Chains A and B, each alone.
Chain A
Amino acid sequence: MATIGFIDAIRQALTEEMERDPTVFVMGEDVKLGPFGATRGLFEQFGPQRVRNTPVSEAALAGAGIGAAMAGMRPVVEIEFASFFYCCFDQVCNQAAKLRYMSGGQARLPLTFRCVYGAMGSAAAQHSEVVYSQFLAAPGLKIVIPSGPAEMKGLLKTAIRDDNPVLVFEHGRLGFTYGEVPEGEYVLPLGRGAAKREGSDVTIIAIGAMVPKALTVAEEMEKEGVSIEVWDPRTLVPLDEEGMLASVAKTGRVVIADEGHLRGGAAGDLAAIIIDKGFDYLNAPIKRVTALDVPIPFSPPLESYVLPDEAKIKAAVQEILA
């Protein structure tokens, strides 16, 4: 197993899937150059037909991905930053999500959207949002949020092979992380979460880039005699309810760490599921550690005040243990 970067994992997944299936192609703004590295070199390897630079036209881009998918291709559409999804919300939520269902199951949409999400440090409100919770309210979309390089590679490969629209959210800060990733064929199923660390006192359900933060907290608190399990759902749709509830049953205490907002966010959605289906397991209220309900601000002290971090996760754990 090699240690590679998060971005390398994306590039490996794309390269391998493009080599494997000639109907896979990537398009998006600047994918030819690949300024952030994920698509760098693909143009040289696969040529202009399969690595398509597009205008800054998110609606046309998303819609063209839908049409190409329905007409036999397997597009990977890059939307650069998650907030740009708002520019093609109709195509994603009204079209991609619904066309199969509205047609009584006739349409097949093997379509992957990739984007960078989350706060990367003073990128301000329109380049720092998680956005994925918006899509939880749009049945028909799969939502994938890798927490590290191995998940990134394994989940992206599966997303590309899926015959449904899949949205893959890649945290900008994870772009700088490294980890062990199996070489060659390595796929992770959608809808299967993973305990990134076993524990018995508290479950921290951590989404995407909150996973490494939760692991840091868990290691730190182990020294204080607290045994924490870190559960990575990996995909919000489909959701591994069974795995998540098994972890809750084991510990009886839950903190949900998500960089999205508190209201209408993924953390609240998961909490509601736990209350519905696992109320009897709970020995304490569920705590949500999320961004505060304001747009993500620019200035560093404002930004860090708003965002969830290790200290806030730790405080939440302590609160439900008290």
Chain B
Amino acid sequence: MQASLLPKEQLLSMYRMMVTIRRFEETLRDLFFQGQVPGFVHVSIGEEAVPTGVCAALSDKDYITTTHRGHGHMLAKGGKPKQMMAELFGKQTGYCKGKGGSMHIVSYDLGILGANGIVGGGIPIATGAALASSFRGNDAVAVSFFGDGASNEGTFHESLNLAGLWKLPVIYVCQNNCYAEFTPTSESTSVKDIAVRAQGYNMPGVIVDGNDVLAVYEVIKTAVERAKRGEGPTLVEAKTYRWEGHVVGEEAFVGEYRPPEEIEVAKQRCPIVLFSQQVVATGFIDEAELNRIAGEVQREIDEAVAFAQSSPLPEPEEALNDLFAQ
């Protein structure tokens, strides 16, 4: 898709989102190394075009499920950096009052039905949200984000079968970043292209360049339209690359498991740089405008960090709340 086909505001909003995800996670990574963030965090630096392109094609009432590497999906679906950062700090002001942390940071008001620490755990849940939507005439679509690793989980296959059978308004977005934890996809997956698995479940399987935000947007837009027409699910494989390790700080224990050249080559195709070039080429947006946005984003992230740092920790007894709805 040509950038010039979209309104300027939408292009700028996509740019803002990609930079927000990048800055949020870079900042988070640095804070983690400073010991300010408890637990462990997984970042998706280099993969920002996928959540941005997907969520640009969704509306507020649509649903998503996301993964342990889900900050980008959360932000792209409308998550506020302040409450997200506070959650990552384990603070009372976080989205989950400090009960979720990085792998479970969610806002149901935004249609996010769970980030998930279990690989493939969210795939049937998104399928169920699509089922609920089908009762109402497909008024909302559900998107399940997951990685290449999850496509080897039983939940992936069971869910695609169910959605293909019932023609549910769901879009399965496999964000193939070439590694499941520390193992390359080529060593874990029987097919080169995960999209071909769609054939077994009576739905289209589409491969898209996961570093091209406009391509992702276009593919998802088509899938959303198909879903809303009642024609059923789509499997989208967005091919991208995980610049960082599986988990921040892994250098301390894991050793080298992928060639540095591979990472360098991947970084040559930075989704933000690629998009900036496309956008500037339209002629109606210049670099100064992009820089202005990047500056605004940096301030927003700085504010989020300050908010998280200054927020109170939960009272210990808070641990006993929120188990059951009354």
Contacts and interface: CB of A to CB of B under 8 A. Distances in A.
B114 interface: yes
A69 B128 contact: yes
A113 to B, nearest CB: 13
Interface residues of B, number: 49
Interface stretch (A60-68, A124-132, A201-209): A60-68
A105 interface: yes
Contacts of A142: 324
Given A55-B165, A94-B118, A95-B125, A104 B95 contact: yes
Nearest to B92: A104
Interface in B58-108: 63, 65, 94-100, 104, 106-108
Listed residue (A55, A60, A61, A72) with the most chain B CB atoms within 10 angstroms of its CB: A60
Contacts of B65: 67
B52 interface: no
B232 interface: no
B54 interface: no
Contacts of B109: 106
A67 B142 contact: yes
B125 A70 contact: yes
Q: Which of A57, A67, A72, A142 has the most CB of B within 10 A?
A: A67
A102 interface: yes
What size tier do the contact residues of chain A reach? 35 or more
A44 B124 CA distance: 27
Interface stretch (B155-163, B240-248, B269-277, B283-291): B155-163
With most chain A CB atoms within 10 A of its CB, the pick from B97, B158, B159 is B158
Contact of A64 (B63, B98, B127, B154): B127
Nearest to B124: A63
B321 interface: yes
B315 interface: no
A103 B322 CA distance: 8
Nearest to B166: A52
Contacts of A49: 135
B220 interface: no
B121 interface: yes
B130 A60 contact: no
Contact of A57 (B133, B136, B161): B161
B325 A164 contact: yes
A143 to B, nearest CB: 12
Interface string B294-326: 000000000000000000000000000111111
Contact of B125 (A67, A103, A104, A108): A67
Contacts of B129: 67-68, 70-71
Contacts of B63: 67, 71
Contact of B162 (A23, A64, A69, A105): A64
9 contacts: A49-B135, A60-B124, A63-B121, A65-B128, A67-B113, A67-B127, A70-B125, A102-B104, A104-B322
Given A60-B161, A63-B121, A101-B99, 9 more contacts: A63-B124, A67-B129, A69-B128, A102-B100, A103-B322, A104-B98, A104-B100, A106-B108, A107-B108
